[in-house]
Copies of this chain bind each other. A is one copy, B any other.
């Protein structure tokens, strides 16, 4: 039998992940998760408000760690460097959680309801990052742009790491930041001005 609160939470999470993978998210009930973890359904609901939330434990701790890292980043760093610094600082959390988060990713992809919850979690983290960047002197729109781009880049790096764990997560994050830079530096609007864009659009209409 589970001995303490933390252990019960962990057992519930792993039981949920296994059942969702075997039978599908929709087909699994909270009661079944509880039974597999060796506790009552009531205990399940003492730990988690609903069946979805059981997959997202630890989100608050991650938000706290990464926003604190943004605040702790050297004052001389610009917003993008501060985000890189912060993501690099918390990479150990990703490494420790990988046995759970990697299979979880596929379960989330299989369910609309779970995707919505994951999107909410990402939104909360993005808003927290933006708020931390504002404390570094950015305007709200600048902070929103930086945090959204940063989150997309982090997520790209983590996915690449899930696909290829033979390379360090830190190196995957560096590569993701390089890809983001390379992607956005190729840009009609900037390289040639809008007149070229207009010409291309006119040409596209003709063909």
Give me the interface of A with B, judged by CB distance under 8 Å: 72-74, 77-81, 84-85, 88-89, 115-116, 119-120, 123, 141-142, 144-146, 148-149, 151-153, 155-156, 159-160, 163, 170-171, 173-174, 176-181, 183-190, 194, 197, 200-201, 203-204
Contact = CB atoms under 8 A, between A and B. Distances in A.
B189 A174 contact: yes
Specify how many copies of this chain sit in the oligomer. 2
B148 A148 contact: yes
A141 B119 contact: no
B197 A187 contact: no
Most chain B beta-carbon contacts within 10 A, residue among A144, A188, A197, A201: A188
Contacts of A171: 194
Contact of A174 (B144, B190, B203, B204): B190
* Chain A contact residues: helix, strand, loop or mixed: helix
Contact of A187 (B81, B119, B203): B81
A84 to B, nearest CB: 5
